[in-house]
Amino acid sequence: QAQLVESGGGLVQPGGSLRLSCAASGSIFGIYAMAWYRQAPGKQRELVATITREYSTNYADSVKDRFTISRDNTKNTVYLQMNNLKPEDTAVYYCNADLRTVSGERMGSWGQGTQVTVSS
């Protein structure tokens, strides 16, 4: 019913920037909130940033002065602008959507993930 596809990951040097995108598609009635998570090898998945349908945002303390989450409801797309990247930001980044389908299902949907590697 709903699919999320991330893009924009890659290899970047410390201090560099990347912009991640995640587009939701399918028979979607509405998206209540969208979020970015990340998971490094051998570590637990952690919440990076969230944005509601009213465009309220929250950030993990480790990224709040460097990352910006945004949302385009006309495209069902969420973005994560990442500036001043650090090696500890290296992880697979996943987008998540709290949504309701046209058929009435309430679900949390995950993307496939996109790799971000910060290394000199």
Chain segment 55-111, per-residue pLDDT in tens: 999 999 999 999 999 999 999 999 999 999 999 999 999 999 999 999 999 999 999
User: Please, is 108 exposed, middle or buried when counting C-beta atoms within 10 Å of its C-beta (0-12, 13-18, 19+)?
Assistant: exposed
**What does the DSSP assignment read for 58-106?**
EE-TTTTTTEEEEEETTTTEEEEEE-S--GGG-EEEEEEEEEEETTS-E
Tokens 């303390």 belong to residue: 61
Residue 56's pLDDT is 97
- Separation CA 9–CA 19 (nearest Å): 8
93 and 65 Cβ atoms separated by less than 8 Å: no
76 and 100 Cβ atoms separated by less than 8 Å: no
User: How confident is the model over 30-55, as pLDDT tens digits?
Assistant: 999 999 999 999 999 999 999 999 99
